[in-house]
Amino acid sequence: MVYPRLIALDMDGTLLDGESKVPEDFWPLLKRAEELGVVIAPASGRQLATLQDQFGDDLSYIAENGTAIAHQGKIIDVSVLPDDAVYRILDALQSVTVEHDVVLCTPTVGYVSEDANPDTFTQLEKYYYSRESVAELRSMVEGSDIIKVAIYCAAGSEEFIAPVIFEAIPDHNVAVSGQAWVDIMPAGANKGAALHHMAEKLGISIEETAAFGDYLNDFELLQEAGTAVAMDNAHPKLKEIADLIAPSNLDHGVITVLTEWFDKMQAEVETQRANR
């Protein structure tokens, strides 16, 4: 295989363990990647501010399912939903009787209704480090540069939310991001497109990229990557397009695969040095 120079890592269900924490064995691998000239880019539906709080400002990031791209502390690209699309989403959700809450995501802050369910706020603490409670979401749409609309439904996002949103917003990108989440991004915006854009910015060919993922919002990411890695716990549709199946996130599959790759890359480097 072509060893990657840019590796995109999904978070929940992929890199993070069962407690939504970064495995301790990842941090030495991050240092090894830097020494080998490999760029590690967390690629998540999570907010950029949340990812930067987890990993620091110096990494490259694909945040908000590809609608915000950052490199070394600077946002280098965003994709914005038209205001009318956001209004259509909010209008369509009025017909949903199952309990749910909405987050309007800008590049720097997530807006949520101050009347949201307490369980929603518990979830937001994990995913939206920078957030603001507001009295009326509709009042925040105009002029806010909404890059993503996230909908939380504990009863099941794929069953209760996705069908309504697919019908209301056929012209934009709707992704089932987890059992309880649906994300809506601008047409053409997804993790895969963001990976391609980041690779171009860094002067890396797409063949020299790799991506790890577990759920449907990672589908385009794995499609685009030079080497597609699905976790053992991944959605069946991701496994169908994967080049490699890694052990599950609970078994630290990302750590296992990266260690194997980096060991082989280091061995090649040492062989080249010895032959000079």
Pair 230, 242: CB distance under 8 Å: yes
Domains, the chain, ranges and CATH?
A: 6-78+189-274 (3.40.50.1000), 83-185 (3.30.1240.10)
198, β-bridge pairs: none
State pTM to two decimals: 0.87
Rounded Cα distance, 236 and 262, in Å: 28
- Digit-by-digit pLDDT tens for the chain (276 residues) are 789 999 999 999 999 999 989 999 999 999 999 999 999 999 998 999 999 999 998 899 999 999 999 998 899 999 999 999 999 999 999 999 999 999 999 999 999 999 999 989 998 988 899 999 999 999 999 999 999 999 999 999 999 999 999 999 999 999 888 889 999 999 999 999 999 999 999 999 999 999 999 998 899 999 999 999 999 999 999 999 999 999 999 999 999 999 999 999 999 888 888 887
- Enclosing H/E stretch for 272: helix 253-274
Q: Which two tokens stand for residue 179?
A: 């059992």
Rounded Cα distance, 265 and 210, in Å: 14
